[in-house]
Chain A
Amino acid sequence: MISELAIATYTQQSHIAFVSAQGLAIISIILLCVAPFLPRPMRSFQYGIDAFLSVCLLSVFILRSLASEFFALTNMFESLLAVALGVVICRYILEPRIRIQSFHVLSMGLVLVALGFATTLPSEIAILQPALMSYWRAIHVPIIMLSYALLFMASIAGVLMIIKRGSSPPLQRERIGERGFSQLDQETDCPLTQLADRAVYLAVPTLAIGTALGAVWANEAWGTYWNWDPKENMALATLFVYGAYMHMRLNTQIKPQSLAWLLVIGFAVVMLTYIGINLLGVGLHSYGNFMMS
Chain B
Amino acid sequence: MNATTNTPYTKRLWAPWKRLGQYFLSLISSMEMGVLLLIFIAISCIAGSLLPQIQLVDTGAIQRQFGDAYPYLNAMGLFDLFYSPWFIALEVLFFFSICIGSFRWLRPAWLSITQKTLMDARHIRATSRHHVIDVASSVPPPEILATMKMALEQQGFDVTGSNKKHPWSLYATKGRLGRVGPMITHVGIALVMLAVFWGAFTSFTAQHLAKPGETFAVSESETFATSTKPPFWFGSIPDYRVQIDRFDIDFQLKAPMVPKQFTTHLSLIDTVTGETLKKGVTSVNNPFRYKGLTFYQANFSPTTLHTLTINGVPQRVDANQTLAGRPFAIHPLNETTRLFIFPLGRFTDGLQVNRVEILQEKNGKLLGFDKGFSVKNKNVLGLTEGADAQAFAGQKIGYTQAVMSTGLQMKYAPETWFLYVSLIVLALGCVMSAIPHYQVWLALGNELNTFNSPPNSVAVYSKAKKHPKRLARQLERVLDKLPTPAYKHHGSTEIGPTT
A positions within 8 Å CB-CB of B:
1, 127, 130-131, 133-134, 136, 175-176, 179-185, 188-189, 194, 197-198, 201-202, 204-205, 208-209, 212, 215-216, 219-226, 228, 230-231, 233-234, 236-238, 240-241, 243-244, 247-248, 250-252, 269, 272, 277, 280, 282-283
Contacts and interface: CB of A to CB of B under 8 A. Distances in A.
A209 B427 contact: yes
Given A1-B253, A130-B261, A185-B468, A205 B430 contact: yes
When A and B form their complex, which 5 residue pairs have the shortest distance between CB atoms, in order from nearest? A180-B489, A205-B430, A181-B472, A237-B45, A223-B296
Given A224-B411, A248-B35, A219 B416 contact: yes
B192 to A, nearest CB: 8
Contacts of B82: 228, 233
Contacts of B34: 247
Interface of B: 31, 34-35, 38-39, 41-43, 45-46, 48-50, 52-53, 55-57, 82, 128-131, 133, 185, 196, 205, 252-255, 258-262, 283-287, 294, 296, 298, 409-411, 416, 419-420, 423, 426-427, 430-431, 433-434, 466-469, 472-473, 475-476, 479, 487, 489-492
A269 B466 CA distance: 25
Contact of A240 (B45, B262, B472): B45
Contacts of A225: 416, 419
Given A130-B285, A188-B468, A233-B48, 20 more contacts: A127-B252, A127-B255, A133-B285, A179-B487, A180-B133, A183-B489, A184-B130, A184-B491, A188-B129, A208-B426, A208-B427, A216-B420, A222-B298, A223-B409, A233-B45, A233-B82, A240-B42, A240-B45, A269-B46, A280-B49
B487 to A, nearest CB: 5
Contacts of A230: 48-50, 56
B260 to A, nearest CB: 6
B469 A194 contact: yes
B423 A212 contact: yes
Contacts of B476: 175-176, 179, 181
A209 B294 CA distance: 24
Contact of B430 (A197, A208, A283): A208
Given A223-B205, A244-B38, A234 B255 contact: no
Contacts of B416: 219, 225
B423 A185 contact: no
Given A223-B411, A237-B49, A252-B129, A201 B285 contact: no
B57 A282 contact: yes
A281 to B, nearest CB: 11
Contact of A204 (B53, B131, B196, B430): B430
A175 to B, nearest CB: 7
A221 to B, nearest CB: 5
A250 B419 CA distance: 29
A127 B430 contact: no
Given A179-B489, A182-B469, A228-B82, A133 B260 contact: yes
Nearest to B462: A181
Nearest to B48: A233
B430 A241 contact: no
B430 A209 contact: yes
Contacts of B50: 230, 280
A136 B473 CA distance: 41
B42 A244 contact: yes
B471 to A, nearest CB: 8
Nearest to B128: A252
A184 B462 CA distance: 11
17 contacts: A130-B285, A179-B133, A179-B476, A181-B469, A181-B476, A198-B467, A220-B285, A221-B296, A228-B48, A236-B42, A237-B43, A244-B35, A247-B38, A248-B35, A250-B31, A272-B49, A283-B56
Nearest to B285: A134
Contact of B285 (A175, A221, A241, A269): A221
Contacts of B55: 228
A283 B411 CA distance: 20
Contacts of A131: 284-285
B434 A223 contact: no
B466 A197 contact: yes
A214 to B, nearest CB: 10
B456 to A, nearest CB: 19
Contacts of B466: 197, 201
A241 B131 contact: no
Contact of B39 (A181, A209, A222, A241): A241
Nearest to A217: B285
Most buried by B among A189, A225, A226: A225
A248 B33 CA distance: 11
Contacts of B492: 184
A223 B287 contact: yes
Contacts of A237: 41-43, 45-46, 49
A272 B46 contact: yes
B434 A205 contact: yes
Contacts of A236: 41-42, 45
A130 B262 contact: yes
B422 to A, nearest CB: 9
A248 B32 CA distance: 8
A201 B434 contact: yes
A136 B285 CA distance: 9
Contacts of B253: 1
Given A181-B472, A220-B285, A205 B487 contact: no
